[in-house]
Structure 1
Amino acid sequence: MSDAPTFAIERFTHEGATLVAQESGEGHDLFVLIHGVGMGRSAFAELEGLLDDIGRVVAVDLPGYGETPEPGRVLSMEENADVVAAYLSDLTAGGESPRIVVLGHSMGAQVALEVAARHPHLVDALVLVGPTVEPGARSAVRQLWRLIRDIIPESPRVIAVGAREYLRAGPRLLAKVRAVMVHRPEDTARQVTVPALVIRGERDILVPVEWARQLTEALPDACLREVAEFGHETMIRNAGPTASLIREFLADR
């Protein structure tokens, strides 16, 4: 018999924008995993299996990514957050109130910040993994060059997953990158009221340590942790250290 996890797949539409949610696990905690630009929920394949023994884990494809259709236009970080929040409201309506942990990777960290700031009643804790993008580096060309330098030493698995998802992101990928660049996460962070964990790969070229510290300090209740010897795509290459940091963070709360 196979020990492969069983997933429930759901499509949810809010104001013309559709996301796909994949759920596994059980428990009082509810983890919501939000991917980066050009990626999809498959980026969390390993992390899901490392958290689903302590809670329900929901990984989403944001509108226009993964298996979702393109919306009428590219959504801003705030609009993506509103879609996620509408889905969360629907998911938790009428049942027990879980502890909701919203986790975002890369661009997903910007969306997660907006969910926590705009819909604080839906978020109990925040995890930002490799959060982008710092002031002074909001250029698509600069970020692409950083990404190339970061990925070069990564494993074939990381490169294969990234290549597949970037192709699926479609012809609007550049417009999606621009939506990331105009967002100001340092401003949104000051509006967040829940405890937060910021995780940075020690070798993450896209997320300089100075920026990770600045963002952590902008959050009212946050701590910064580093994963040694890893870069921006640490969760794809080896999600174990990230899962351990999340468990430790939640155990203290």
Structure 2
Amino acid sequence: MAGVERFAHAGATIVAERRGHGERAYVLIHGIGMGRSVFADLARHLGDGEVVPLDLPGYGEAPEPARVLTMERTADLVAAYLRKRVMQPAVVIGHSMGAQVALEIAVRHPEVVDRIVLVGPTVDPTARSAPRQLWRLLRDIAVESPRVIARGAREYVRAGPRLRAKFHAMLVHRPEDVLHLADVPALVLRGEDDLVALPAWCRQVADGLPQGRLEEVPDHGHETMIRDAAPAARLIREFAGEG
């Protein structure tokens, strides 16, 4: 199956782009201010199976909901989509804020999840404020390629004037409180040079997951799935049993 589809549930809408087909489904959930377009390179490298990058409500081409969704409500929406449209337990891959959504899907709706991949997970409790998160993001992206910076800037503009409220929804979520409830195979993936998701926090996340493990991608920062996604894709495929 291929194509772009909209899915509405409980007053909010996501946009999903479905590519390929097969027994395995990879569902890609973007970070704050981003959209499904940032996964173009990763999707090309994931190999066999169906790849489904999403635009969360109010990002990319998905319309703004009446109210900004919490991480939990966003997880409920994505899980409803998986249940009704994908119809098989999926490898749910979340990047940055998307890792928080992926975690909550595993906690709240484990029946739709085969395993989860948390890439550059946020929010580190030692940096749970907008200024600290923004400073880390700016430092990390400063060393990225012009292509990554341009794509990120475009997606932030598309995220609209409610970005501050979306940032708040991300910051008030406490992933450390629910890690122990996500009892599915879980890979925490970190760029070796990531200045947003620091080593100690990623280790805490991996250790807090009942079936968690940590891997690092050399010579990559926080945008490890956007720029040169082949190394991240290889680790994800090995974790999913395709290596």
TM-score range for the pair, normalised by the shorter chain length: over 0.9
Task: Quote the offset at 1:136 in angstroms.
Answer: 2.0
Calculate the TM-score normalised by the size of structure 2.
Answer: 0.97
Candidates 159, 169, 181, aligned match of 1:179: 169
Report if aligned partners of 1:65, 1:169 keep a CA contact under 8 Å in 2: yes
Aligned counterpart, 1:15: 10
Tell me, yes or no, if the aligned pair for 2:90 and 2:114 is still in contact at 8 Å: yes
In structure 2, give the amino acid aligned to 1:48. A
Contact 1:107–1:132 under 8 Å retained in 2: yes
- Cα deviations by residue, 1:62-110 (Å, 9 ceiling, x for unpaired): 00100011000110000100110110111144xxxx4410000000000
Conserved? CA contact 2:89–2:111, under 8 Å: no
Counterpart CA distance in 2 for 1:147 and 1:92 is 33
Which deviations, in whole Å up to 9, do the C-alpha atoms of 1:121-153 show, x marking residues without a partner? Answer: 110100010000111210001110111100011
The residue type equivalent to 2:30 in the other structure is H
| Partner AA of 1:36 in structure 2 | G
Letter in 1 for 2:31: G
Q: Partners of 1:190 and 1:137 in 2: how far apart?
A: 21
RMSD: 1.3
2:239 aligned with 1:242, yes or no?
no
| Aligned-partner SS, 1:146 | helix
1:29 and 2:24 are equivalent in the alignment: yes
Gaps of 5+ in 2: none
Shift of 1:187: 1.4
Which of 116, 126, 134 is residue 136 of structure 1 equivalent to?
126
Assess if the C-alpha contact under 8 Å between 1:28 and 1:99 holds in 2: no
Task: State the one-letter code of the partner of 1:76.
Answer: T
Q: Deviations over 1:181-217 (max 9, x none)?
A: 1001111211101100010001100011000000000
* Aligned twin of 1:217: 207
Q: Which amino acid aligns with 1:34?
A: I
For residue 37 of structure 2, the aligned residue among 17, 42, 45 is 42
TM-score (norm 1): 0.93
Identity %: 61
Give the AA of the match of 2:151: V
The residue that corresponds to 1:230 in the other structure is: 220
Q: Distance in 2 between matches of 1:185 and 1:172?
A: 23
In 2, distance between residues paired with 1:50 and 1:249?
14
Aligned mates of 1:18, 1:66 — CA distance in 2: 12
Match of 1:79 among 61, 70, 73: 73
SS at match of 2:68: coil
- 1:21 deviates by 0.2
